[in-house]
Amino acid sequence: MERALLPRKWLTVLAAMMLAGAPPFVARAEPGRAGEDKLVQFEREHALNVGDKGEDRFDLSVAPPACGQTVLAYDHADIEFLRKRFADARIVQVPSKACLRCSPLVVRWYNEPTGYLKYRLRIHLRPVEGRCPG
């Protein structure tokens, strides 16, 4: 079983999502090469036999960095479909780039009767440095 180390701020985000009753998901962090952005992935699956629709919300807020510190903030996102039959998902709301206190990223999805959907949301992060007073 592969284990990924997540930054402390993501553990806080993941814990908050679990407490809010979010469906099960897998989060994975992939280290980037020098000069590349970082990547966090969430997997979601929906497969109700009678069909269904809904929204998955992801809070990507991070604590503001201290003077001289760097945090990873939202840059952009995309969806990769792992399984899909009579179903679809789209990103309908995104936070502004490099936000620290972000509006949620919203994925709207549906599956027809006998359909199923499993997707991976790939969230690309970029470093943001804290401002120093004066």
Give the per-residue pLDDT at 121: 95
Kindly state whether residue 2 falls inside one of the protein's structural domains: no
Structural domain tally of the chain?
1
Kindly state whether residue 1 falls inside one of the protein's structural domains: no
Kindly state whether residue 15 falls inside one of the protein's structural domains: yes
Give the per-residue pLDDT at 36: 52
Q: What is the pLDDT of residues 63-110, one digit of tens each?
A: 999 988 999 999 999 999 999 999 999 999 999 999 999 999 999 999
Kindly state whether residue 120 falls inside one of the protein's structural domains: yes
Kindly state whether residue 119 falls inside one of the protein's structural domains: yes
* Exposed / middle / buried, residue 45 (Cβ in 10 Å: 0-12, 13-18, 19+): middle
Kindly state whether residue 88 falls inside one of the protein's structural domains: yes
Give the per-residue pLDDT at 49: 82
Q: What is the pLDDT of residues 9-62, one digit of tens each?
A: 544 444 444 444 444 433 344 444 444 558 899 999 988 888 899 999 999 999
Kindly state whether residue 102 falls inside one of the protein's structural domains: yes
Confidence label for 131 from pLDDT (cuts 50, 70 and 90): confident
Residue 45 belongs to domain spanning: 8-129
* Exposed / middle / buried, residue 96 (Cβ in 10 Å: 0-12, 13-18, 19+): exposed
Give the per-residue pLDDT at 37: 58
